[in-house]
Amino acid sequence: MAGYESVGFHASVVCGAASGLAFVAGYVQNVRTVHVWLGSRPLPRQVVDVAALLVVHSSIAIMSCLVLFSLFQQAFQGLTVDTVAGATMLAVASGVAGYFGYTSGARITAATLSVLLAVFMASGMLISMLLAENPLWWHSMFSELGTGQAGLTSFWTFNTTIATSGIILTTLSAFITRDLRRWAELLGASDARNGRRRTFIRPRPNVVRACLIASGVCMAGIGLFPVNTFEPVHTGLVRLLALILAILLLGVPLWLPGYPAAFYLLSLIAVASLAGVIALWYPLRYYNLTALELGAAGIVFGWLVVFIRTTMAVVEAAGVAHASPGEPADDR
């Protein structure tokens, strides 16, 4: 059931193809009925987004299938299956993968995209760590997984995961920015009716959009330029990413006035936590760079999930017609 040329091996290939193709079918339906605005973007951007999302869905299906069949093999030691049983397992697995892929594409939102991004990054990093030929890679840093010294499989897994995640982040920014712009328009109309004029402290969706897109581009660059061959570029992109995230988090009260005070507090706590994990690395030398990267990634992605949920709540509270899955979107 598990191993090379096993039922699990062939099922993972079929599941990856089924999930990817089903996602594309669901996504096309979504673009035609719900998020029509996605189809109005430049064609190259649409192709890149769909390709990245296809890779994400196929990868998650493949990894889930391999893990599931491996667990079954360990649970039933020595079990072998004949052609009929193997074909049935393969058909069921591919059907389930296709169903979830189609559902994900047809009901895609900012919230589901954030979950996909987190799952894809976590599973990709874990697979890269498990496949690393150098068991002491963690003595250096996470980028060590993206070098040839960690092994060819780990090299491709790590860099593909980082680069694809960067593209997905830019796609996610389109969903978030659209809601923020509509919220800002409604807030401006309300201020006009009440005779209030905002000058400096006003919603700035474009700043948030620029920060998210720049972060995605930096992540994609980090994956495309490994540290062992493009060390100056790789290091520069990492530092630029950190600077962009600091600007986004520290400037939340300026970029997004009107958000709940609890979210502002959470953003400050996130910044303080990032400063704390950095201090534990240097100057305290409590742990190494790998632990710092792991802690920082957890804090940033945790903040991102809360940001998306808060944005959806603020938009809905402001009366913006937030398109629900299966319902036509208001594209005024």
How big is the chain by its Cα radius of gyration, in Å?
Answer: 22
Could you tell me where the DSSP H helices lie in the chain? 7-33, 43-75, 83-106, 110-131, 152-193, 205-224, 231-250, 252-255, 261-281, 289-317
Residue where a domain stops, chosen among 61, 80, 108: 108
Average pLDDT, the chain: 88
Half-sphere exposure of 124 (CA within 13 A, CB side): 27
Give CA–CA dist 170/214, Å, rounded: 8
Kindly state whether residue 114 falls inside one of the protein's structural domains.
no
Instruction: Tell whether 279 and 193 lie within a shared domain.
Output: yes
Give CA–CA dist 51/324, Å, rounded: 24
The pair of three-digit structure tokens given for residue 242, joined into one six-digit string: 């950190």
Of 166, 173, 171, which Cα lies nearest the Cα of 49?
Answer: 171
Is 105 in contact with 97 (CB distance < 8 Å)? Answer: no
Give CA–CA dist 24/189, Å, rounded: 38
Instruction: Tell whether 104 and 133 lie within a shared domain.
Output: no
What is the model's pLDDT at position 186?
Answer: 79
What is the model's pLDDT at position 40?
Answer: 87
Instruction: Tell whether 15 and 130 lie within a shared domain.
Output: no
Of 89, 93, 126, 108, which Cα lies nearest the Cα of 49?
Answer: 108
Give CA–CA dist 169/62, Å, rounded: 22
pLDDT of residue 326 exceeding 70, the answer is: no
Instruction: Tell whether 128 and 14 lie within a shared domain.
Output: no
Kindly state whether residue 289 falls inside one of the protein's structural domains.
yes
Mean pLDDT over 147-168 rounds to 90
Kindly state whether residue 244 falls inside one of the protein's structural domains.
yes
pLDDT tens-digit map of 170-214: 999 999 998 888 888 877 776 667 767 666 677 889 999 999 999
Q: Total structural domains in the chain?
A: 2
Residue where a domain stops, chosen among 78, 108, 138: 108
Give CA–CA dist 226/233, Å, rounded: 9
Of 91, 85, 94, 21, which Cα lies nearest the Cα of 64?
Answer: 94
Query: Residue 156, SS3?
Result: helix
Worst-scoring range by mean pLDDT, 166-170, 266-270, 328-332?
328-332
pLDDT tens-digit map of 46-80: 999 999 999 999 999 999 998 898 888 888 888 88
Confidence band of 328 (pLDDT split at 50, 70, 90): very low
Q: Percentage of the chain surpassing pLDDT 70?
A: 93
Kindly state whether residue 223 falls inside one of the protein's structural domains.
yes
What is the model's pLDDT at position 35?
Answer: 86
What is the model's pLDDT at position 323?
Answer: 39
Instruction: Tell whether 31 and 82 lie within a shared domain.
Output: yes
What is the model's pLDDT at position 314?
Answer: 87
| DSSP percent split of the chain into helix, strand, coil, nearest 5 | 80, 0, 20
Q: Which of 82-86, 130-134, 174-178, 221-225 has the highest mean pLDDT?
A: 221-225
Kindly state whether residue 188 falls inside one of the protein's structural domains.
yes
Worst-scoring range by mean pLDDT, 95-109, 148-162, 257-271?
148-162
Of 162 and 258, more confident: 162
Instruction: Tell whether 102 and 160 lie within a shared domain.
Output: no
pLDDT tens-digit map of 14-55: 999 999 999 999 999 999 988 888 888 899 999 999 999 999
Instruction: Tell whether 54 and 202 lie within a shared domain.
Output: no
Mean pLDDT over 276-281 rounds to 94
Residue found by looking up tokens 């700035």 in the block: 204
Kindly state whether residue 113 falls inside one of the protein's structural domains.
no
Instruction: Tell whether 157 and 232 lie within a shared domain.
Output: yes
What is the model's pLDDT at position 197?
Answer: 67
Instruction: Tell whether 233 and 176 lie within a shared domain.
Output: yes
Kindly state whether residue 115 falls inside one of the protein's structural domains.
no
Instruction: Tell whether 143 and 28 lie within a shared domain.
Output: no
Q: Percentage of the chain surpassing pLDDT 90?
A: 55
Q: Which domain range does residue 163 map to?
A: 120-332
Mean pLDDT over 83-100 rounds to 94
Mean pLDDT over 323-332 rounds to 41
Residue found by looking up tokens 């953003």 in the block: 267
Instruction: Tell whether 154 and 41 lie within a shared domain.
Output: no
Instruction: Tell whether 317 and 258 lie within a shared domain.
Output: yes
Confidence band of 320 (pLDDT split at 50, 70, 90): low
Residue where a domain stops, chosen among 79, 108, 137: 108
What is the model's pLDDT at position 199?
Answer: 62
Kindly state whether residue 299 falls inside one of the protein's structural domains.
yes
Mean pLDDT over 132-145 rounds to 88
What is the model's pLDDT at position 191?
Answer: 66
Mean pLDDT over 145-165 rounds to 90
What is the model's pLDDT at position 324?
Answer: 42
